[in-house]
Amino acid sequence: MVFGLFSKEKALQRTIEKATNRLSQQADRWAALEKLREDGSDEALFGLCKRFSITSMKGVEDEAEKSWVVDTLVAKGPAVLGPLVRYMKTAEQLSFTLRVLERIADHDKIVEVVDQLFSTEPPGYVRMPERRIDLLRWFAEWKPATDDEVISRFTPYVTDFDENSRFAAIDGMATGDPARIAGPLLAALLRPDEESGRIKRAIAEVLVKTKAPLGDQAAAVATALTGPLADVFKVEAGVLKKR
């Protein structure tokens, strides 16, 4: 019986390898993916998740397979949550798995998983920032998220080491309560270490769009408007405006 179980596990691993071989013919990957769906065990579902980690040679085929995996996992319902979260803990990219998560879990569970993911992505240098960028972009677009949930989680990233992560966090705050986003965005705009003109412009655009109150930072913001920023923006009546 032990030998039979061992053989079954080896066969499952071979199927996962076929499903995640980017150089295989699509028909071979499809066959392996369908076998994993039929198996339905936690390890098979984890294997389906691993399909998100590779990019096959043909873009259209790759997108079709990944979309199929999303729908297949969603069809399994809450049973897929364990394998999905297990995969997400070390995945380099999260966009497809987050699509699954939002369709199989309730609000509180989603926030719990998101917080687990954020805890593995503390602000600072990281070799591959795509993971945190995926998380920031998705959470900003997730409609059930409240201002409290978004602003509290995004604030540490508006000063992240990675410029694209900073941009994603700033952009994600653009629909928040102006009075609440003003503080972290102004702190980011005025910090001496911020040298990116793109980031300063992004912050300014959000401040203008939301009419966020500058409060006692109005004079400091006016002083910070130098170079190209001074040509486009001005401080007037306690808010930032375009010229």
pLDDT in tens, 209-232: 999 999 999 999 999 999 999 999
CB atoms within 10 A of CB 229: 18
Six token digits for residue 50: 């691993």
At 56 the pLDDT is 86
Closest Cα partner for 137 from 168, 114, 165, 116?
168
Closest Cα partner for 183 from 161, 159, 201, 149?
159
At 5 the pLDDT is 56
Q: Over range 53-78, report the average pLDDT.
A: 94
pTM for this prediction = 0.91
Q: Phi then psi for 240, rounded to 5 degrees?
A: -90, 135
CB atoms within 10 A of CB 228: 11
At 4 the pLDDT is 56
Q: Assess whether pLDDT exceeds 70 at residue 62.
A: yes
User: Is residue 86 very low, low, confident or very high in pLDDT (cuts 50, 70, 90)?
Assistant: very high
Q: For residues 45 and 81, what is the distance between their CA atoms, to the nearest angstrom?
A: 10
User: Is residue 9 very low, low, confident or very high in pLDDT (cuts 50, 70, 90)?
Assistant: confident
Q: Phi then psi for 106, rounded to 5 degrees?
A: -85, 175
Q: Assess whether pLDDT exceeds 90 at residue 137.
A: yes
Q: Assess whether pLDDT exceeds 60 at residue 43.
A: yes
At 109 the pLDDT is 97
User: Is residue 207 very low, low, confident or very high in pLDDT (cuts 50, 70, 90)?
Assistant: very high
Partner residues linked to 240 by β-bridges = 235
CB atoms within 10 A of CB 38: 8
Q: Is the dihedral of CA 89, 90, 94, 96 positive or negative?
A: negative
Q: What is the DSSP string of 151-182?
A: HHHHGGGGG-SSHHHHHHHHHHTTTS-HHHHH
User: Is residue 240 very low, low, confident or very high in pLDDT (cuts 50, 70, 90)?
Assistant: very high
Q: Over range 155-173, report the average pLDDT.
A: 98
Helices 147-154 and 107-119 meet at what angle, rounded to 10?
10
Closest Cα partner for 213 from 233, 239, 177, 235?
239
User: Is residue 2 very low, low, confident or very high in pLDDT (cuts 50, 70, 90)?
Assistant: very low
Six token digits for residue 219: 């004079």
User: Is residue 6 very low, low, confident or very high in pLDDT (cuts 50, 70, 90)?
Assistant: low
Mean pLDDT of the chain: 95
